Amino acid sequence: MARYRYLVELGAGMVAYGVVLMISIRLISHGAIENPVWKTVISLAPMLPALFVAVSVLRQLRRIDELQRKIQLEAFSLAFAGTALITFSYGFLENVGYPKLSMFAVWPLMSVLWIAGGVISHRRYR
């Protein structure tokens, strides 16, 4: 039952994120908002449902057993360290002419490394 609770919480947060993101992009790109303060607020609006997603992940981590927590800790550790090494390395390459990357590239990288870390750690404890 806890698994379904997590999927409902995560799914609701992701759907809300997508909806708020589309609305904010539409409002900003069509020039519906002139005031720079409101542009900033509307631009950051998708972070509210993203916060809900983060809370649902934390709640799920508190629900799972110790072995699953250990697996997730190892996965997070690999994602954290790998993302730091890769982004810092690329940052140094930007100093010698490589194209600048958006900060939006960091989260997909961390996600891929989190999944890879989870697979590696899960196989280790089989």
- Which residues have C-beta within 8 Å of that of residue 120, sequence separation ≥ 6? 74, 75, 78
Mean pLDDT computed over 15-33: 95
pLDDT digits (tens, 9 = 90+) for 67-112: 999 999 999 999 999 999 999 999 999 999 999 999 999 999 999 9
pTM (predicted TM-score): 0.80
Both tokens of 71, joined, read 């697996």
Domain spans of the chain?
A: 1-63, 65-126
Place of tokens 């631009």: 43
Long-range contacts of 42-51 (CB under 8 A, 24+ apart): 45/20, 46/17, 46/20, 46/21, 48/20, 49/13, 49/14, 49/16, 49/17, 49/20, 50/13, 50/17
pLDDT digits (tens, 9 = 90+) for 25-62: 999 999 889 999 999 999 999 999 999 999 999 999 99
Instruction: Count Cα atoms within 13 angstroms, Cβ side, for 13.
Output: 17
Kindly tell me if the per-residue pLDDT of 1 is higher than 90: no
Amino acid at 73: L
